[in-house]
Amino acid sequence: MNKRLAALALMSMAALSHAQPAPSLTREQQAGLDKQDQHIAQMADVIVKMIDQNKTGEVWDAGSAVAKKVISREDFVSKVTRDRAALGTPGMRMPMGVKHLHFDGTGNMPAGWFMSVSFDTQFSQARQSAREVVTFMLDPDRVWRFVGYSVR
């Protein structure tokens, strides 16, 4: 398995620190970006709720081909289930924002545009809140698709 793609599926936040900064935007571009951010945040909210409902396989089914090359459906479902099991039932979930990332392919992430949505989530069995991150990649057909989920 390609190490670059494995890092993507596992959503290593250390890798995200190598992202390139976004260029300055006009007002119109910023308005479009804000609208896109709202849409991506809504999509991420749907994904975490599907995971809450044990529909993790369906999340993988709708994912990017990049994600599907990295991790099998069975392994993805198993990993997410295992990661969430010790935390208990999710309670209050606060969105923490959307990050825009661009990678040139020289690090351990494939080249392309990514967006990650973070949530600060309280789980019934955890002493403190956990950070859930849902990541999307802009596929070659110019559609944002799910590529990763992590919780810690």
Q: What are the pLDDT digits (tens) for 63-111?
A: 999 889 889 999 999 999 999 998 999 999 999 999 999 989 888 778 8
pLDDT of residue 22: 57
Q: For residue 54, which phi and psi values (nearest 5 degrees)?
A: 60, 35
pLDDT of residue 109: 78
Cα-based distances in Å from 90 to 15, 51, 104, 109, 129: 27, 10, 36, 30, 10
Domain coordinates of the chain in residue numbers? 3-15+27-151
CATH topology of domain 3-15+27-151: Nuclear Transport Factor 2; Chain: A, (3.10.450)
Split at pLDDT 50, 70, 90, the class of 31 is very high
pLDDT at 10 over 60: no
pLDDT, the chain, mean:
86
